[in-house]
Amino acid sequence: MHIEVESRLQKLSEMLAQSWRLARSPRMRAILRVQQEACDAMRAYLKSEHFFELLPPIIGPVTDPGIRGAKQVTIDYYGREYKIMSSAILYKQAAVSGLGRIFFMSPNIRLEPLDSALTGRHLTEFVQLDLEIANATYYDAMKVAENLLCTAIDTVRDVCAKELEMLGRSLPSFKPPFRKMTYDETVESLARHGVKLRYGVEVPWEAEHFLSKLMGEPFFIIDYPRGARGFYDREDDERPGILRDFDLLYPEGYGEAASGAEREYRHEKVLARMRESGEDPRKYEWYLKMLKEGITPSAGFGIGIERLTRYLCGLETVVEARLFPKVAGIYSP
Amino acid sequence: MWWFTIESLFSRAFSKALLGIVGLSSFFEDLREAWSSYPYKEIIRRARKGVDAVYPQGRFWPALMAVKGAAVVEQPRRFATLDDILLLPPAFTPLRLKKMSEILREPNYTDVDLGTEFGGFRASMPLMVASMGSVQVANSVSLEIAKAAGRLGVPMGVGENVATMWGYSKRIRSNQPCFKERVMTYLEATEGGVGGIVIQQSVEDAYNELWNLVYSDPDVEPYIEKGAVGFEVKIGQGAKPGLGGEAMVPLKEAERLRDKYHIPEVSEMEGGGYVTRHSAPGTYTPDILRGMVRMMRNNYPRCRLWIKLGPFRDLPQVLRILLEERVDAVWIDGKEGGTGMSPLASMKHLGLPLLAALCSIVEFLANRESGTSLLAAGRLYDGGHLVKCLCLGLDGMVVGRPMVISAWAAGARGVENYVRTVEVEAKMLISALGKYSVKELGPEDLGCLDQELAERLRIRYVYG
């Protein structure tokens, strides 16, 4: 088993070491065409829904800590420590107060744990369409997510027939609303299939893959327990311990598409939740000051472009879904 | 006026001399107090002589020491300790018979098997090296300790602030080992998957995301994969429950650290180019604690989860949550516990002595269904302490100071010597109880010198 992992890693390293060659292949051209059409369609849809597209921030004193064990990148900023965005979540909350509906095409860096190299789902550098809606519930956000995904799928199916044929991919048509399973139901359903999960623990990659294979269409897992997510996912006041959040998953074993939530905007709640995630509040000085001043409640999500591309094109791994991919532990251009 | 000048000169010289004598005497007083406050001599002897130190041989009159008998334990104290409990061997020893049928000869103390598992690690004996932090006295000898502990197959902790103070993988000061040296020295010394390392993260280390750094470090990765790495949350410390880590740092380091620690402004600074660096104790509520445990499980699923607890009055409530959340290990540090640097007032006035802390969680010790290991620390240093801990229902004993003293006395060899003495003593005592493995020990092996304490601990009263 170990030898097999080693040899797969070796093969991947060799391919990535010459990643410039990938840009010349017709297959990559087809994949990138699909990606471009999907992004254009999503942009157009959001514009029609009165969203502002903002230029994404790349660095700042703090970034998103809710990244499941991945490491942030720290840079020296004139003698102080700055982070490269692992996600622009904190800035989304800052921007949405004035602008109402916003999104970024946000490049993010997360130094994922080394065991993520062969999951087929993790890149250390990736782009997400990251959006936020003022005065919205997580159900509102899920509605946007459904429409966004359907728009991308329908457009690609219509416009990129040639490319899809070349990639050997056929895309079905889905009709929102998608099925919503609570975290509790998910744990039960997994248990019925013999996958045991301790309550409070994130649905692991393998279990997510398993569920995603079982489903014939995209679906949501909602209401994660507290402790599973970042400090900014809002806890339900009526149901303590339950977060008003969701993951959107692709069918066919492609796993997580998007992750979102209603946001906690009360600074005292955020402080306690920061402690839960072992964070030093001193680091989040600007953010906490902003919350104390008061911000508009909001909900939003981020959808990974490479993972979307992987699904649309039916690719084996997300590594194929962009040029110059970076994978945990592999040194490549 | 000449007489006035001479007189004043004389008196100045006189008072200077007087002050000198006072200074000198207080220096010696400090030394005497420090020396008499902890069994340094005994531990140094163990470190230097190894297993020979198990017997009370004096340097000059071995025969005289040999007649000392049982009067070796009397010390003035403020509170009861494990020394108020005795081990009570029985004459009838059915488990010895069982052992005999296994090995086909009369069992000896060397037949006792101390091998065990706790906190998700395999260990050669139920001993753990406490997570000592960045304070120089411990950090300077940390590599000796790591080397010895790794070789011995004894799990070890690395305390807070090491990476922030002395660097993660590169030394900030040439004479102070950095964080990763401590970790890798230990891990590379381990053999056959016995042992494990747990890494504490203080509030300030969290600023640098220490755990994430470790979790994605290619050098540590193989050991994470083997399950030999744990992360530890420190909720207080024996000698200073409720206070965060404190340390003296050179003035020139102060500015570098000011972003992350509370350091008094320059006007408050005094004392030989050093300044006190305070770290935060961290804020906890039941919700925060539960959330933190879950966050750690989610973020670092391949790491063991350890909690260090100070001697707090609400230990049972804290422990209940931790057992429900099924952390891998909890260790409780009594107020007699060691300290890198603690305010006098905290050592004098704050917190429960270890035995009192254990009294408060006796229900948990009696009923050990959960998968969580429980360990204790606080001035525990010999084989007797270890065996008593096990009889009380704990999974092991945690030692800090003896490791530091042994390392200062005789390097890595000293640490190995010291641990061997604890091992031999523990084996002797366990075999005396007619038992041959750690799991066989229980409260029936103990007797207490104090009646109320005996009742509270649910063990027999020796005079009863």
B186-206, pLDDT tens digit by residue?
A: 999 999 999 999 999 887 888
- Output the CA angle B420-B422-B424, nearest 5 degrees: 65
Tell me whether residue B185 is in a domain. yes
Characterize the bridge pairing of strands A298-304 and B274-278: unpaired
Say whether A227 and B291 touch across the interface (CB within 8 A): yes
Shared domain check, B349 and B275: no
Q: Residue A71: which of B203, B207, B213 has the nearest Cβ? A: B213
Cis? peptide before A177, omega within 30° of 0: yes
* Contact in structure between B304 and B231 (CB atoms under 8 Å): yes
* Contact in structure between A124 and A109 (CB atoms under 8 Å): yes
Say whether A275 and B213 touch across the interface (CB within 8 A): no
Alpha-carbon distance B258 to nearest alpha carbon in chain A (angstroms):
11
Shared domain check, B125 and B220: yes
Q: Residue B212: which of A69, A228, A273 has the nearest Cβ? A: A69
pLDDT tens digits along A172-186: 999 999 999 999 999
ipTM for the assembly: 0.80
- What count of other Cβ atoms lies within 10 Å of the Cβ of residue A239? 10
The model carries a pTM of 0.85
pLDDT of residue A146: 97
Chain A contacts of B306, Cβ < 8 Å?
A: none
Which chain A residue lies closest to B233 (C-alpha atoms)? Answer: A278
Alpha-carbon distance A33 to nearest alpha carbon in chain B (angstroms):
34
pLDDT tens digits along B116-157: 999 999 999 999 999 998 888 889 999 999 999 999 999 999
Characterize the bridge pairing of strands A125-134 and A80-84: unpaired
Q: List CB contacts of A308: < 8 A, sequence separation 6 or more.
A: A35, A38, A149, A152, A257
Say whether A280 and B295 touch across the interface (CB within 8 A): no
Say whether A280 and B221 touch across the interface (CB within 8 A): no
**The CATH number of the domain where B149 resides is what?**
3.20.20.70
For residue A128, pLDDT beyond 80 = yes
Tell me whether residue B263 is in a domain. yes
Chain A contacts of B288, Cβ < 8 Å?
A: 272, 275-276
Shared domain check, B258 and B196: no
Q: Give me the number of domains chain B comprises.
A: 3
Say whether A114 and B221 touch across the interface (CB within 8 A): yes
Shared domain check, B294 and B157: yes
Mean pLDDT value across chain B: 88
For residue B333, pLDDT beyond 50 = yes
Q: List CB contacts of B209: < 8 A, sequence separation 6 or more.
A: A65, A71, A72
Chain B contacts of A228, Cβ < 8 Å?
A: 294-295, 298
Shared domain check, B162 and B187: yes
The answer to whether B323 faces chain A, any CB pair under 8 Å, is no
Shared domain check, B384 and B270: no
Tell the burial category of B90 from Cβ atoms under 10 Å away from its Cβ (0-12, 13-18, 19+).
middle
Tell me whether residue B56 is in a domain. no
* 3-state SS assignment for residue B219: coil
Its domain, for residue B371, covers 109-244+283-461
For residue A306, pLDDT beyond 70 = yes
Q: Which residue shows structure tokens 């260790």?
A: B331
Chain A contacts of B168, Cβ < 8 Å?
A: none
Alpha-carbon distance B252 to nearest alpha carbon in chain A (angstroms):
16
Tell me whether residue B321 is in a domain. yes
Shared domain check, B113 and B14: no
Look at A7-11, B45-49, B264-268, B437-441 and tell me which has the smallest mean pLDDT: B264-268
Say whether B216 and A111 touch across the interface (CB within 8 A): yes
Shared domain check, B304 and B227: yes
- Residue A12 binned pLDDT confidence (cut-offs 50, 70, 90): very high
Say whether B206 and A278 touch across the interface (CB within 8 A): yes
pLDDT of residue B62: 55
Q: Residue A278: which of B201, B285, B301 has the nearest Cβ? A: B201
Q: In whole angstroms, what is the distance from residue B334 CA to residue B354 CA?
A: 4
Tell me whether residue B216 is in a domain. yes
pLDDT tens digits along B1-44: 555 566 666 677 888 888 888 888 888 888 888 888 888 888 99
- What count of other Cβ atoms lies within 10 Å of the Cβ of residue A233? 24
Phi-psi region of A35 (alpha: psi -120 to 50; beta: other; left: phi over 0): alpha
Shared domain check, B387 and B449: yes
* More confidently predicted of A56 and A68: A56
Interface residues on A facing B, Cβ-Cβ cutoff 8 A: 65, 68-72, 74, 80-81, 111-115, 198, 200-202, 204, 225-228, 272-273, 275-280, 282-283, 328-329
Shared domain check, B133 and B8: no
Shared domain check, B254 and B227: no
Which H/E stretch holds residue A272? helix A267-276
Tell me whether residue B163 is in a domain. yes
**Ordered structural domains, chain A, with CATH:** 2-55+86-321 (3.30.930.10)
- Residue A121 binned pLDDT confidence (cut-offs 50, 70, 90): very high
The four Cα atoms A308, A313, A315, A317 give a dihedral, to 10 degrees, of -20
Say whether B216 and A328 touch across the interface (CB within 8 A): yes
Shared domain check, B269 and B165: no
Helix axes A205-214, A183-192, angle to 10 degrees: 80
* More confidently predicted of B348 and A286: A286
Q: In whole angstroms, what is the distance from residue B322 CA to residue B316 CA?
A: 10
Tell me whether residue B271 is in a domain. yes
pLDDT tens digits along B382-427: 999 999 999 999 999 999 999 999 999 999 999 999 999 999 999 9
Alpha-carbon distance A116 to nearest alpha carbon in chain B (angstroms):
10
